Amino acid sequence: MSKQRINVSRREFLIQSAAVGAGLSLGLYLPGCSDNAAPKPAPLSESGIPEVNAWVVIEPDDTVIIRIARSEMGQGTLTGLAQMVAEELECDWSKVRTEYPTPGQSLQRDRVWGSFSTGGSQGIRGSHLYVRKGGAVAREMLIQAAAEQWQVAADECIAKNSVITHTPSGQTTTFGKVASAAAELFPPEHVDLKDPKDWQLIGKPVKRLDTDDKLNGKQVFGADLVLPDMLNADIKACPVFGGKVKSFDASKVSAMPGVRKVVKVNDDAVAVIADTWWHAHQALNALPITWDKGDNANVSSASIDAMLNEGLQAKKAFLGNENGNARKAMQDAAKVVEATYHYPYQNHATMEPMNATARWTPERCEVWCPTQNGEAALEAAAEAAGLPINKCEVYKIHLGGGFGRRGAFHDFVTQAVAIAKQMPGTPVKLLWSREEDMQHGHYHPITKCKLTGGLDKNGELQSLHVRISGQSILAGVNPNWMDNGVDMFTFQGMLPGEEHGISYSVPNLLVEHAMRNPPVPPGFWRGVNINQNAIYMECFIDELAHAAGQDPLAFRRKLMKDHPKNLAVLNAVAEKAGWGTDAGEGIFRGLAVCNAFAAYVAACAEVSVNSDGQIKIHRIVAATDPGYAVNPQQIEAQVEGSFVFGLSALLYGECTIKNGGVEQTNFNNYPSMLMKEMPKVEVIVMPSGGFWGGIGEPTVAVAAPAVLNAIYAATGKRIRQIPLKHVDLKATA
Amino acid sequence: MPKITVNGKQVSVDAEADMPLLWVLREKLGLTGSKYGCGIGICGACTVMVDGQAVRSCVVPLSSLSETTPIVTIEGLSSDNNHPLQQAWKQLDVPQCGYCQPGMIMSAVALLKDNPNPSDDDIDAGVTNICRCGTFNRVRAGIHLAAQIGKRGRSE
């Protein structure tokens, strides 16, 4: 790619920023075109300094403040986005700080910062163009301001490291000295973005910008927020999905220490408001509540399983991907292999439970919360407040984990506002207990999958039929995002194309989905549908390779000729792991590869299983090709972390349903993996350029299948249902 | 009114005897570095040092603490992020979301106090905190690095 010339028209910018959020975008209005003449005087930054443009504020001491619209939840996006602005701005990286604009400010300014949505691994790849442009425009304005002061031509000046130099004369100034003059200028009509080969800061493993306060307790998370005169609330919603509050007896707890008020919240929850959260929690636990359990009180894991089993056999199903004629080709197969897999409900279990703080008056509503989508939080706040959106504001706070739980759903905001409305003028912080968080999630959806593969007499895969049965996330979250009733996202990793594409070319392919939606709320869960689909596809391909009597790597390679990027990451892990060589006494390897969120990832796991059936994951080699690598060391951190998330899901992750609600309550019965279970992870970051892929999610999906395939190699046992806590791998079993 | 000693200072606490130390710290003393994660002593986000031992403060009632029992929280670790663990964490960019990190660091403080040069197995046994972002390998490297920094500090 060479230099890109970018027009600085507001209309183009808006259309683009609307398009990138497509999958998760909101129904927010897109204002019409406004021209380049931004209203003057330029808006001030939080510190009262006029901004150069929406993305950049330079203080007189040369401090650079970069505005970040997406949310930081651990994934490093804050630093990566700042790197991209700074790359074009040509500022001194050591002087960079960041700040979050509010969603209310963004609405007032025609959504100048684009999407706030931080999901779908979109943070970097969805905004790289306009944030780089933001940096470039600010640079040009700073140069122009210096040139005007010197009365020289701007094209004789260059900016580097926050210093502007007039090349012919050698005179210099700094960004801080010309920033206020630059703020008065009109932006240039177009700017040139650098050729990626000229990037100095993008691609560098710089340290995160948000670490210091995380080392000493100063970082304020939503749960930590304290406002003057603030009260605290704890909440219980009906433990049965769809159930409601019938009655509660506030008199039983109103005299308990600190209790101020017991309130009904919407029609399905009760909250206690108290001086401290501990007091609210104690009183809530003592509060007698009677529930109207509604229609779902008899729903159980067994009844859901029956729904899914019916879907596996059903005549009708939605089509996801098809070529050739898989059903017919299956009849001609020399050998047919068939297997059924299962993936359970799982909770996001962010370390910081859901929370939001709200202050409501009849005129205004303000909300402070950790959110993956500030604009969606603002919409939820306005709706709950019963106020126009311009009378509401949301202040974003760093998230103690997101993983998809805090993006499409702002139930915690709706509740916080509903509580605050019953205490007008007083800020109330609502913090869910872990038990509430565990039982009122928006869960990783449940599915089963029957796969049938037809091999010819040479052991070549001629036909593959994939029948998914189970829950659609989009149907549960927002049916408007579906395509005529079809949830194409269900087929993630099995679709044509390079966003969530299948890694293999099979002459006869049929992928379909029998949608069966149990009354358990589904949600986007880090990785989303690729988590189960990669298990289904990668474990079954492994089954087919063994059925064909072929090496699983060689078998895959033959099917991947038309998928060079998928093949490249697979080859990279195989080579680094030493596929085909001895892994050590009792240690066996397994592979997995996939394309999701426009990135290509693969893993090779090394696993041993002892005679007691105990699994040890010794080492994982992982490769990722995200197109461009903005911060390689943060990509490594995301890849390592993805294995903790994916392996926790594999080892322990399961929410079971009884009497219409989730049985698990806390980390004692919904465990997450610990340090002692963590394998060594070797990360290969191999950006091949020319496209932008996501980082935070894709690798989660290869964790489980790579380990499951290694367990098969070690034991000869094919595990088709997770989590492994249910599986007995004893040698005699 | 009960008194406790936190980060070297004795303070009076207007709270019931059964209030867990975590909530005393967070809601009575304004020390919100120690986090609520589970409330049942499992996840470790609330870990602080009590009398030199790492404890899950969410299950330690106020009544179990004497006036002089030394309690150290993440806020009391250093005044300038200069504790060897903080230095190591910074050098290796350990935190992701950061919510579990105060507890993780305090567990590591306790581990290094008793075992200045821990093996991987020692770290596995000593640090049992949950991290959902998945910082374990950098935490492990951070503890090893902090042990080296601590050694240099002692030999100076």
With bands split at pLDDT 50, 70 and 90, how would you rate the model's confidence at B153? Answer: confident
- Res. B28: pLDDT tops 80: yes
A675 interface with B at CB cutoff 8 Å: yes
- Write out chain B residues lying below 8 Å of A276, CB-based: 23, 27-28
- Res. A671: pLDDT tops 70: yes
Q: Check: CB of residue A304 under 8 Å from CB of residue A655.
A: no
Reduced to 3 states (helix: H, G, I; strand: E, B; else coil), residue A396 is strand
- φ/ψ region of A112 (left if φ > 0, alpha if ψ in -120 to 50, else beta) reads alpha
- Write out chain A residues lying below 8 Å of B30, CB-based: 226
How many other CB atoms are found less than 10 A from the CB of residue A274?
26
Would you call A74 and B97 a contact, using CB atoms and an 8 Å cutoff? yes
Would you call A74 and B133 a contact, using CB atoms and an 8 Å cutoff? yes
Would you call B137 and A349 a contact, using CB atoms and an 8 Å cutoff? no
With bands split at pLDDT 50, 70 and 90, how would you rate the model's confidence at A48? Answer: confident
Would you call B134 and A75 a contact, using CB atoms and an 8 Å cutoff? no
- Summarised one tens digit per residue, pLDDT across range A345-364 is 999 999 999 999 999 999 99
- Res. A33: pLDDT tops 80: no
pLDDT above 90 covers what percent of chain A? 93
- Res. A31: pLDDT tops 70: no
Query: Nearest-CA residue of chain B relative to A642?
Result: B134
Question: How far A16 CA lies from chain B's nearest CA (Å)?
Answer: 29
* Rounded Cα–Cα distance for residues B18 and B123 (Å): 32
- The pLDDT of B90-95, averaged and rounded, is 98
In this predicted structure, what is the pLDDT of residue B156?
A: 55
Residue A600 exposure: Cα atoms within 13 Å on the Cβ side: 25
In this predicted structure, what is the pLDDT of residue A49?
A: 82
- The pLDDT of A263-276, averaged and rounded, is 98
With bands split at pLDDT 50, 70 and 90, how would you rate the model's confidence at A7? Answer: low
pLDDT above 70 covers what percent of chain A? 93
**A165 has which bridge partners?**
A158, A172
In this predicted structure, what is the pLDDT of residue A82?
A: 98
With bands split at pLDDT 50, 70 and 90, how would you rate the model's confidence at A2? Answer: low
With bands split at pLDDT 50, 70 and 90, how would you rate the model's confidence at A731? Answer: confident
Give alpha helix (H) positions in A421-520.
Answer: 434-439, 473-477
Would you call A224 and B26 a contact, using CB atoms and an 8 Å cutoff? yes
Q: Check: CB of residue B14 under 8 Å from CB of residue B4.
A: no
In this predicted structure, what is the pLDDT of residue B155?
A: 65
- Write out chain A residues lying below 8 Å of B42, CB-based: 666-668
- The pLDDT of A687-709, averaged and rounded, is 98
Query: Nearest-CA residue of chain A relative to B98?
Result: A214
In this predicted structure, what is the pLDDT of residue A310?
A: 98
Q: What is the DSSP string of A290-309?
A: EEE-GGGTT--HHHHHHHHH
- Write out chain A residues lying below 8 Å of B34, CB-based: 217
- Summarised one tens digit per residue, pLDDT across range A75-103 is 999 999 999 999 999 999 999 999 999 99
In this predicted structure, what is the pLDDT of residue A119?
A: 93
In this predicted structure, what is the pLDDT of residue A590?
A: 98
Query: Nearest-CA residue of chain B relative to A258?
Result: B15
- Summarised one tens digit per residue, pLDDT across range B116-143 is 999 999 999 999 999 999 999 999 999 9
- Res. A6: pLDDT tops 70: no
In this predicted structure, what is the pLDDT of residue A673?
A: 98
- Summarised one tens digit per residue, pLDDT across range A619-642 is 999 999 999 999 999 999 999 999
Select from B34, B71, B101, B132 the residue whose CB has the most chain A CBs within 10 Å, as the one to mutate to test that interface. Answer: B132
Structure tokens at A165: 């130099």
In this predicted structure, what is the pLDDT of residue A37?
A: 37
Question: Which of B38, B96, B130 minimises the CB distance to A674?
Answer: B130
- Res. A559: pLDDT tops 50: yes
Select from B29, B79, B137, B140 the residue whose CB has the most chain A CBs within 10 Å, as the one to mutate to test that interface. Answer: B137
Q: Check: CB of residue B111 under 8 Å from CB of residue B88.
A: no
In this predicted structure, what is the pLDDT of residue A293?
A: 98
Question: How far B57 CA lies from chain A's nearest CA (Å)?
Answer: 13
Query: Nearest-CA residue of chain B relative to A526?
Result: B133
Helix pair A564-577, A552-559: axis angle to 10 deg = 160
- The pLDDT of B14-32, averaged and rounded, is 97
Q: Which of residues 471-530 of A touch B (CB under 8 A)?
A: none
Q: What is the ipTM of this complex?
A: 0.98
- Res. A335: pLDDT tops 70: yes
Q: Check: CB of residue A106 under 8 Å from CB of residue A18.
A: no
Q: Check: CB of residue A534 under 8 Å from CB of residue A702.
A: yes
- Summarised one tens digit per residue, pLDDT across range A475-488 is 999 999 999 999 99
A676 interface with B at CB cutoff 8 Å: yes
Would you call A351 and B95 a contact, using CB atoms and an 8 Å cutoff? no
- Write out chain A residues lying below 8 Å of B108, CB-based: none
- The pLDDT of A69-74, averaged and rounded, is 97
Structure tokens at A366: 């303000």
- Summarised one tens digit per residue, pLDDT across range A524-540 is 999 999 999 999 999 99
Would you call B36 and A643 a contact, using CB atoms and an 8 Å cutoff? no
With bands split at pLDDT 50, 70 and 90, how would you rate the model's confidence at A40? Answer: very low
- The pLDDT of B86-111, averaged and rounded, is 98
Select from A118, A351, A664 the residue whose CB has the most chain B CBs within 10 Å, as the one to mutate to test that interface. Answer: A351
Helix pair A530-547, A700-715: axis angle to 10 deg = 30
In this predicted structure, what is the pLDDT of residue B152?
A: 86
In this predicted structure, what is the pLDDT of residue A10?
A: 38
Would you call A641 and B40 a contact, using CB atoms and an 8 Å cutoff? no
A672 interface with B at CB cutoff 8 Å: yes
